[in-house]
Structure 1
């Protein structure tokens, strides 16, 4: 799932609708430009960042504009992928564009629509600042075409330190410890898990994050890659085992707050209110790093009106996703936004160099809501110790794998979401659900 937002990329639209949307956004570009007026160079960027994400981006580029005299014209839209496709097809691409996954990158790179970055950015600097796993996400056929500029870490469990300490419980480091802790909590009359699967038209994606983490931790990155590429059946032993492993958490009676109905009706961002309450209704939450923004804005269920907002490290903290197979410990599932160069100009090169370097990356993370894969971003750039720990974990991970559902064809991704919802409603239909997913896979894979 996308980092920091509940959208999942553009849905399929009719050709007239796509053309109308593209023309509308182009017409509005002069009104949405940032950085003031002037006759100097302009860099046009198209991206998915809106709302608070857009405000943060504009704040990050403001020093660049002042220093260089280059104006940044940013257009943000949830349908940026559709608009980009239409603009590229019409021969009027933006200078830079935000891509929500490596899967979106490859077709443009292979069609010659993207400028390779090997001669644009300082390769030695990139190698020093980004691990090979992170650079690989922006590479196609051995050439660098994009860089991840905004990221989130998926492989996390969240908890309230005070709530666990009150009972002498600790966050689980292994899957065996997880099941043992679940038993301790239920024996004490509590409910172990907060699970919210509701996310408007993308309902079900929080469950896909669970399953992706389990596949990676249980069967390793090679199996994960084969599954994402459509080369491994959903009915295969590793994928079936991942669903059964997750089912042992969410399908057993008393394991999840509200049971199946609660999972289906609770939004992914609302679970923090139950986790952070003085008398928690549940004790663990599996969410990506961007959930901290929801926790900070959360009103704990049953909390006193006017109480101070929850504090990182005190009211909420994280542990890494539990180890299942020791050989794959430390591998991380991530999400992120890549930046690619569609129209090569000197001003666009300068901005791309700025946005990928430690200065801009540090400014970005200081505003909260995102992490940087740039390992030269200093600890002092992060707004608190907890967020810095997340950033360090993300930058230093021995292997990272992009969110699987975001890499899948749209039809398969949507079927995955629906299968999650159907499974929590009735786990006994797992065989049918996996067989149906294989049918969809056969229709969308080359």
Structure 2
């Protein structure tokens, strides 16, 4: 071939690349009404690390060798507004690299099981820690994929590390260790937000002395009645014992009838049984719906001064009382004295090692990925890059709590298998109702704990 002809070919090839680069990049869309067609065979695993990008990363995003048009299948439980916020987070990656996202949304974990068993799993799934354990032999470690380990506290890496392999990246978190109240009511009555457990206890007694009911603690929730009680008790454990103690209960190192657990039940019981401390006393706790328990603090006039409830309570208050203003009429503070936080997290896991997968993992675990997650307002991000980047004032406040905590513990009842959660809720009901003494209740729950964990 002549040198002249060769130069013409090179010029034409360069023009083709330039046109492709200028074409609008695909953006992630809402989940399709029909699941994406499954490949007849899983994509081949790369035997060599992906090639380095031929051009500098766009907008600080490293495409990790992914090329425009590379597809990335993913499965998650989010829909509606949550899915829209995920799309907002992923858009910079899609724009920079031209990756085509193929999403599928479902609440049915059996669908993920079916895909994995058929050998056609999604490239990426966002699910729970239990699935990290379940699929551990089929997942690609996060460090192999280029995740930025330095952006995560140890207590967020540890749950995603299964048998020594870091298999799950925590992408979304919520916290439960908070108490909701009305700043306007507190101001009118001369109450101040407590900063220690002792101050909270003194505030509760001051409210009683003033003729105010401190707590709204109703936990009726159908088959799940008792779950708000178990959450409150776990927060007391975080105050009195600390996060490692909670993790030791989950691992079975500490039996559920340990003296520390009994102390937490006794503190909770004092408030949850007595009408001086909570609306309706024991029967009010047992029969009041958990949403109604939230509303009672913000009714006019209020029936109680405080309610301990997860972050979702803010949205419920706004829906029930749309005229109330966050920060003035309703607000929250962290359970004072808690040495860690209780909460939940969604985990990203990878079934394949491809350039597009590596680009996603690198992006979401980067400072930029954390910042974009925070700006989108999709709950909280465990990524340290999210700190200071929340725009919603309540998320900004919760984000600071998350950034400053010394521990993060999952819900005990949700984490121990074998029907433990139901046994815990039943025991709390029996304790509040007075049908069984506390030692008997805790011994029965501890027996279920030991059986579930093989202790």
TM-score class normalised by the smaller sequence:
0.7 to 0.9
Q: Report what 2:125 is aligned to.
A: 97
* Aligned partners of 1:108 and 1:114 also within 8 Å: yes
Q: Report what 1:257 is aligned to.
A: 279
Q: Report what 2:380 is aligned to.
A: 371
Aligned counterpart for 2:111 among listed residues 54, 75, 83: 83
Structure 1 residue 369: Cα displacement: 5.6
Task: Encode CA deviations 1:348-394: one digit per residue, 9 max, x unaligned.
Answer: 2222222333444334334446112222225243212x421210220
Task: Encode CA deviations 1:101-130: one digit per residue, 9 max, x unaligned.
Answer: x34423422xx11111112124xx430x22
Write the distance in 1 (CA, Å) between the matches of 2:131 and 2:75: 14
Output aligned runs, 1:223-262, within 5 Å. 223-262=245-284
Task: Encode CA deviations 1:325-365: one digit per residue, 9 max, x unaligned.
Answer: xxxx5322221111111222222222222233344433433
Q: Does 1:322 align with 2:336?
A: yes
Structure 1 residue 428: Cα displacement: 4.8
Structure 1 residue 200: Cα displacement: 4.5
Q: Does 1:356 align with 2:378?
A: no
User: What SS does structure 2 have at the residue aligned with 1:271?
Assistant: helix
Output aligned runs, 1:55-74, within 5 Å. 55-74=84-103
Write the distance in 2 (CA, Å) between the matches of 1:369 and 1:184: 38
Structure 1 residues 268 and 67: CA distance shift in structure 2, 3 A: farther
- Bigger Rg, structure 1 or 2: 2
Query: What is the Cα-based RMSD across aligned positions, in Å?
Result: 2.7
Structure 1 residue 412: Cα displacement: 0.8
Structure 1 residues 172 and 403: CA distance shift in structure 2, 3 A: same
Write the distance in 2 (CA, Å) between the matches of 1:200 and 1:42: 43
User: What SS does structure 2 have at the residue aligned with 1:98?
Assistant: strand
Structure 1 residue 266: Cα displacement: 3.6
User: What SS does structure 1 have at the residue aligned with 2:348?
Assistant: strand
Unaligned runs of 5+ in 1: 1-24, 32-38, 300-307, 324-328
Aligned counterpart for 2:35 among listed residues 23, 29, 36: 29
Q: Report what 1:10 is aligned to.
A: none
Write the distance in 1 (CA, Å) between the matches of 2:221 and 2:94: 37
Structure 1 residues 294 and 368: CA distance shift in structure 2, 3 A: farther
Q: Report what 2:69 is aligned to.
A: 40
Aligned residues: 395
Aligned counterpart for 1:417 among listed residues 421, 425, 446: 425
Q: TM-score by structure 1 length?
A: 0.80
Structure 1 residues 289 and 132: CA distance shift in structure 2, 3 A: same
Q: Report what 1:153 is aligned to.
A: 175
* Aligned partners of 2:36 and 2:104 also within 8 Å: no
Write the distance in 2 (CA, Å) between the matches of 1:285 and 1:26: 40
Write the distance in 2 (CA, Å) between the matches of 1:375 and 1:420: 36
User: What SS does structure 2 have at the residue aligned with 1:116?
Assistant: coil
Write the distance in 2 (CA, Å) between the matches of 1:83 and 1:413: 24
Structure 1 residues 369 and 310: CA distance shift in structure 2, 3 A: farther
Unaligned runs of 5+ in 2: 1-30, 38-67
Q: Report what 2:17 is aligned to.
A: none
Structure 1 residues 78 and 432: CA distance shift in structure 2, 3 A: farther
